[in-house]
Amino acid sequence: MKMLKRVTVKKNERGLLLRNGDFERVLQPGTHWLFSAVDTLRVEVFALEQAAFTHGLADYLMAKEPQVVAAEFLRVELTEHQVGLRTENGVLAEVLAPATRRLYWKGLVDVRLEVIDIAASAEVPAPVVSRLVQTQLRQRAVAGLAGVLQVQVPEHGAGILWIDGKVDRLLAPGSYAFWKFNRNVVVELVDLRLQALEVTGQEILTRDKVALRLNLSATWRFTNPLLAYRSLAKPTEHLYRELQFGLRAAVGTRSLDELLENKTVIDEVVTAQVTTKLAGHGLQLDGVGVKDIVLPGEMKTILAQVVEAGKAAEANVIRRREETAATRSLLNTAKVMEGNPVALRMKELETLERVAERIDKISVIGGLDQVLNGLVKLR
């Protein structure tokens, strides 16, 4: 049965004519009359706004129809060591992984491809990095960024670059990007400023078997991050362990009385021991200080009693000293009055004044002279 069919392809479209499911030709914009007596004809229309040609016939066209591909498509074929940067109308649209094979329609969208060889280096070239930074702020997101590691190293820090499990180099402050294709790339950020490390809740026995709980605080910094990460798996954990060992060495070899008499000995011993251990590892210990020394409950009671007894003894010494001074003062006063009647009389009048302050009413018999001479007389 003969069949006549009219197909219209718009200016922003292309048509793919299939005869019995096989590719026959590409239909350009316009009206097409298709005639078939026996075969089944089918037309698939593609909007050129979507430049990517995602169809099961893509591999066939690249293999068997090179003229059609050259006329209608941009052909992309990347090797195992190449990455493609695809732009649409001058704007980066996609990062293509190695071994990618695709076709993109020509015509409405200006599709271009920039090929980069990644075999020699994992680092993304600087001009490309500036195009990848903050791509999320674009009106349209860039596809394929999962294959790119973007790193921002702050001004006060550095970055340790690991490639396939090995330390490669130290990154200075700035923006970087690395290809993750064909390799394992990791960047570990390191803070070069002075840092604090707390060693808390350390239960340690003194030389005289008294259990103490201590909390230690230390300040430190990286002097050579690359050396630190090459020689130590985890520098911070290594420093923490060395502080623990230094604290045990300082407390375990001294008695409780020695520690209480000289509290700075712990800081000095820990600093000296840890500084020696860190030599050659790219770490520097700036300061160590014991924050808390917590005694057991019964030891607190005993020490409180000792302190109380000591303070009581000091108070008794002071009291005896004051009593002796007062007695000596009275003796000196008596010696002065013994040979001086005027001084004796002045003391009598002072005593009379004190007595008068405590009496509400005084009845005088014999006149004022009797009060002055008869009421108070010192012997």
CA distance 362 to 371: 10
**Which of 233, 263, 295 is the last residue before a domain boundary?**
295
Q: Do 22 and 41 touch, CB atoms closer than 8 A?
A: no
3-state helix, strand, coil in the chain (%, to 5): 35, 35, 25
125 domain residue, yes or no: yes
Determine the distance from the C-alpha atom of residue 308 to the mean position of all C-alpha atoms in its chain, rounded to a whole number.
47
Same domain, 203 and 291: yes
Q: Which two tokens stand for residue 70?
A: 């050259």
Does 332 or 181 have the greater pLDDT score? Answer: 181
Domain range for 284: 196-295
Averaged over 320-333, what is the pLDDT? 77
Low-confidence winner among 30-39, 98-107, 312-321 (lowest mean pLDDT) = 312-321
Predicted local confidence at residue 372, as pLDDT: 54
Per residue in 158-180, pLDDT (tens digit) is 999 999 988 889 999 988 999 99
Averaged over 78-103, what is the pLDDT? 91
Predicted local confidence at residue 141, as pLDDT: 78
Predicted local confidence at residue 4, as pLDDT: 74
Question: Mean pLDDT: which of 36-40, 102-106, 366-370 is highest?
Answer: 102-106
By CB atoms closer than 10 A (0-12, 13-18, 19+), residue 218 is: buried
Beta bridge partners of 103: 75
Domain total for the chain? 3
Confidence tier at 92 by pLDDT (50, 70, 90): confident
CA distance 247 to 262: 15
Output the CA–CA distances (angstroms, integers) from residue 352 to 263, 346, 377, in the order listed: 59, 10, 9
By CB atoms closer than 10 A (0-12, 13-18, 19+), residue 278 is: buried
Query: Is 240's pLDDT higher than 60?
Result: yes
Same domain, 285 and 247: yes
Predicted local confidence at residue 156, as pLDDT: 92
Query: Is 232's pLDDT higher than 80?
Result: yes
**Which of 193, 210, 226 is the last residue before a domain boundary?**
193
DSSP state of 182: T
Phi and psi dihedrals of 343, rounded to 5?
-65, -35
Same domain, 202 and 169: no
Question: What pTM does this model have?
Answer: 0.67
98 domain residue, yes or no: no
Same domain, 282 and 365: no
CB count in 10 Å sphere of residue 61: 20
Query: Is 134's pLDDT higher than 80?
Result: no
Q: Beta strands of the chain (E only): which ranges?
A: 3-9, 13-19, 22-27, 30-36, 41-47, 73-77, 82-88, 91-96, 101-105, 111-117, 148-153, 157-163, 166-171, 174-179, 185-191, 195-205, 211-222, 283-294
CA distance 270 to 248: 9
Determine the distance from the C-alpha atom of residue 73 to the mean position of all C-alpha atoms in its chain, rounded to a whole number.
51
CA distance 236 to 229: 10
Predicted local confidence at residue 297, as pLDDT: 57
Query: Is 194's pLDDT higher than 60?
Result: yes
7 domain residue, yes or no: no
Predicted local confidence at residue 191, as pLDDT: 93
